[in-house]
Structure 1
Amino acid sequence: MSRRVGWIAAASTALAAGVAAPAAGTADAVAPAIAWHDCWAGWGTKCATVRVPLDYDNPRGATLLLDLVKMPATGPQPRIGTVFVNPGGPGVRATDFVDYASRHLGPTVTARYDVIGIDPRGVGQDSMMLCHNDNPEPTPAPPPFPVTWTQSAAVWRSAQWVRTGCKENPNPIVAHMSTADTARDMDLIRRALGEPRLNYYGASYGTYLGATYASMFPDRVRRMVLDGVVDPVAWATGATGEAATLPVTTRVRGAEGAYTGLVAALRECDRLGRRQCAFAGNAPGKWRQLLARAKAGGLQVNERRMTYPALVQSTLGMMYEDDYSLLAQSLQAIWVENFRRVDRVDPRLVQALDRASRRVDEQPYAAPSATRGPVTETVDAFHGVACADSRNPRERIDWWRAGQAQDKQYPWFGSLWTWRSATCGNWPIVTKEDTWVRPFGGRTSGPILVVGNTYDPATPIHGARAVVRRFDRARLLTYAGWGHTAIGNSCVTAAFDTFFASGVMPAPGAVCRMDGPLFSGG
């Protein structure tokens, strides 16, 4: 896989093995001084680098540097406070998300809040997590997910190559990369800013960071928005006994969201017709034809073979957006080339498919709006965080069985989502020292607005409903639409604006609709 060359993200074995009681908070840590300076001429953003404890169990010991970006409130009304933002990933730079978030969380946030992004541990240029493996990466590159038991060996070897480097030659940061440590960093910087409580917006995996913070520091929540929600219990451990047999990326039920979303989208495509959806005209049947030919090894795209895993992964990547027109155009062009034997696929569509495939491979739990092309330097931070946070099975057979079972229940996407976390099998236990596995939920000092999409292909609405059940002051806003996360929708933005202005949440049972049709042109 292209995401690794020699130095890879990983987990440290510099500390003794075993799991110690985690640091609960940040009370013993010294709040850092923050010296803001202009980031880039004309952008209006401010940058800073702060020093925080490497290990909150030893807050006066070794330190690391974290990068911050702030978009100051534009005024002229009095400033209300600060909103911390995280776009998910895990492993995406929050500093790249600040400008977008400040413009899409509503005019109140733009005018009356400073918006701050903190690059999580192991992600920013000053805290990059690295492990070295003296042996070359196995070749050829494995498929995105295995279709056969033999292929599963290649995927597992690639995952083992990462784990070996992580075990034998990591840098110290990856022993301290859990989401709980990032929550502690956020709390420490909140203190440094003089903010009595935290305002927060988190998308995708960023909702797990928010739920972790709210569970660790329930009395420090002011206003929190969780958008495109990961069920925190499913992410961390699953239900009793599940961690021994079900990988984390199976437990969060992404396969269910992707399967139900695509089936509904294909029906909608036929309902709208060819003027709006290029793939219309028995879209479900044509999709099955593409799958069958890909499985048989005969699917061609510009006279080059496209494998079944590549077709599925690219399709999923395009499903992250809230307009499926490009997906429909791409599938129709491939279908025409293979079943009508005329035309070649527009190279721009091929490039879009490739970008979508890399997007799922590199940052599967991130809001699409945060994507700025392939972010290869943060890719393995996904494993550094996700594997530290979660408990998982240990053997290849466990991933194979889970993927096969998911494929029967939610065809096409079951193995894709399951094998995304294969690297977490036998991940060094020392990285889990400070993870938060205590109960999630309870009563917070401020309200939590939870947004869930009915057809989210990565974090199905099940996660949003689970968070609402767990937190006493949480309320669900349903976004009746497709795509991953709801930020940018006009109705949702209006709800964000009211919430950050006054703390008032939408009425119980409130539903936002899409701004436009799912398919906007053939």
Structure 2
Amino acid sequence: MFKSAAVVLAVSAVPFTTAVVSPPAQGLQWQQCAKIAEGWTGGATSECTTVRVPLDYDHPEGRQLTLALSRVRASDPVHRRGVVLVNPGGPGEQGTTFPDDLAGSELAAAARTHDLIGFDIRGTDYSDKILCPELDPVNVPRPPAGDSAEQRFKAQATTVADRLRTCATKDPELARSMTTANIARDLDTIRRALGEEKISYFGNSWGTALGATYRGLFDTHVDRMLLDSELAPGQAVAHADDQTAASEAHFDDFTRWLAERDATFGFGGTAATVSRNLLALRGRLADQPLDGDRDDQWANARFLAPMADWVTAADALVAARDGKPATTTAAASPAEPVGNGFDVGYRDGEIGFVLAAVNCNDAAGARDIDQAWAHGLELTARYPVAGYQPGGDARCAGWPFTARPTQPVRGRSPLQLVGHAFETNTPFPWAREMQAKIGGSLLTVEDDVHSSFVRIPCGAQGSRFLETGATSNGTCAG
């Protein structure tokens, strides 16, 4: 909290430790984040401040929110050419620590000539937010293990819906205001507070939706925009089936890979044979688990392992098939869970609330628990691996406000999209849909790793784009 006499609503939290708030028109007062931000986990060189933004842009003179900003200054100030505002995705991933993270990535070259500016979106971290401990996992009771899958799903969904509604009604105005369009307007308020006529922007995952929305609203204020792992145009909650289909295709790729290595793993010489043998193994483990934990769910997770873990997953499945002890190598990690590109872990219930708020304000759907279960059963029938665990998407069942969907529009400012050919979280077709909707060039990364662009050598092309504006429609290794 600020060490000041400022009154903070009981449902808000702004945990900087000293008052540095200045109206945008009066300039910003920057201080070292490590000195003013409680529990700061970013770098020692990061500077922080706050800006005030309207809660409701239709009534800009009304209630104001406080947003936290951070900055890593250009390392070559003599050649500084502007700022890059950045967002790590979520919505709700911490934005203020992101610039320091990027300064050590393949965007380091761009960081020499640009200030990197992060911000915590409304509702998160150091910005004004609604505290929602009700959604913290430790506070959400789990249904009895003896219940059927349908009973467990519906009981859990009802519990979460009730708690989501409780949190939203703590501050209905703020909860209702948490839309991608309003956050894009916050982004432009930040631009004006920084005194910049134009900004560049880099966003991952949901950050691509934010960037595309900003560019549609404020195209003339965009210098260059770099987006990695695109959501489908509009909110991806309406495209969840695409992710399930992508996960099933990922399994099909795994079976082809195993078939090409039949001499090593012995699951069959064709993808169809491998698939039959793997599903038979899963069925056997459902009836007779090994070691207590190698059961059907364990096997299904190996079926969906990321490409980097395919050898480990195959070795583990061979050991299970042959009744041997578990392999000593690390178990294969399950593929990223289907989650519309929005999924990150809870932080004391806060991130769960933000994910639901933005999702459910922006897109209709996922509000009926019975329909969600029925649709989950349809996916199970259609996708025997990706849909293996019966369930459904009822994340908005408890949301008390009507959705107001928006769609990004085409712009003219320089735009570089980056898509990952094999990933399942934000499937590659979404990148093509986004390009068709808003324009720009599309660089294809040959991997299945969500938002990996700035962590691989190919990411240097992102720095070149931000420095020179040179775009690419090519491919690069992941």
Query: What is the TM-score with the length of structure 1 in the denominator?
Result: 0.73
> Where does 1:419-458 land on structure 2 (aligned, <5 Å)?
419=392, 421-425=393-397, 427-429=399-401, 432=403, 435=404, 437=406, 439-444=407-412, 446-458=413-425
> Where does 1:78-157 land on structure 2 (aligned, <5 Å)?
78-131=79-132, 137-140=140-143, 148-157=149-158
Match of 1:494 in 2: 460
Could you report, residue by residue, the CA deviation over 1:154-179 in whole angstroms, capped at 9, with x for unpaired residues? 34323333344245545653222111
Change in CA separation of 1:307 and 1:69 when aligned onto 2, cut-off 3 Å: farther
For structure 2, the 5+ residue unaligned runs are: 1-10, 12-22, 36-42, 269-273
> Where does 1:113-262 land on structure 2 (aligned, <5 Å)?
113-131=114-132, 137-140=140-143, 148-166=149-167, 168-170=169-171, 172-233=173-234, 235=236, 248=238, 250=240, 253-262=242-251
For structure 1, the 5+ residue unaligned runs are: 1-11, 13-28, 236-246, 515-522
Change in CA separation of 1:63 and 1:477 when aligned onto 2, cut-off 3 Å: same
Percentage of pairs with the same residue: 26
1: CA distance, partners of 2:247 / 2:82:
37
Q: How far apart are residue 391 of structure 1 and its match?
A: 1.0
2: CA distance, partners of 1:223 / 1:406:
40
2: CA distance, partners of 1:383 / 1:461:
24
Q: How far apart are residue 132 of structure 1 and its match?
A: 7.1
Match of 2:316 in 1: 333
Contact map agreement 2:302 2:317 (CA 8 A) in 1: no
2: CA distance, partners of 1:168 / 1:366:
23
Contact map agreement 1:130 1:170 (CA 8 A) in 2: no
1: CA distance, partners of 2:239 / 2:234:
12
Q: How far apart are residue 374 of structure 1 and its match?
A: 6.6
Of 365, 372, 376 in structure 2, the residue corresponding to residue 403 of structure 1 is 376
Question: Is 1:503 equivalent to 2:455 in the alignment?
Answer: no
Counterpart AA for 2:341: Y
Q: How far apart are residue 485 of structure 1 and its match?
A: 2.7
1: CA distance, partners of 2:453 / 2:411:
26
Q: CA RMSD in A?
A: 3.7
Q: What secondary structure does 2:459 align onto?
A: helix
Of 461, 471, 480 in structure 1, the residue corresponding to residue 428 of structure 2 is 461
Q: What secondary structure does 2:66 align onto?
A: strand
Change in CA separation of 1:109 and 1:342 when aligned onto 2, cut-off 3 Å: same
> Where does 1:24-103 land on structure 2 (aligned, <5 Å)?
31=25, 33-40=27-34, 43-75=44-76, 78-103=79-104
Of 248, 257, 263 in structure 2, the residue corresponding to residue 268 of structure 1 is 257
Question: Is 1:385 equivalent to 2:353 in the alignment?
Answer: no
Q: What secondary structure does 1:89 align onto?
A: coil
2: CA distance, partners of 1:464 / 1:226:
10
Query: What is the TM-score with the length of structure 2 in the denominator?
Result: 0.79
Contact map agreement 1:227 1:452 (CA 8 A) in 2: yes
Question: Is 1:342 equivalent to 2:334 in the alignment?
Answer: no
Counterpart AA for 1:201: F
Contact map agreement 2:302 2:313 (CA 8 A) in 1: no
Q: What secondary structure does 2:104 align onto?
A: helix
Contact map agreement 1:91 1:380 (CA 8 A) in 2: no
Counterpart AA for 1:161: D
Aligned pairs, number: 441
Q: What secondary structure does 1:108 align onto?
A: helix
Change in CA separation of 1:210 and 1:415 when aligned onto 2, cut-off 3 Å: farther
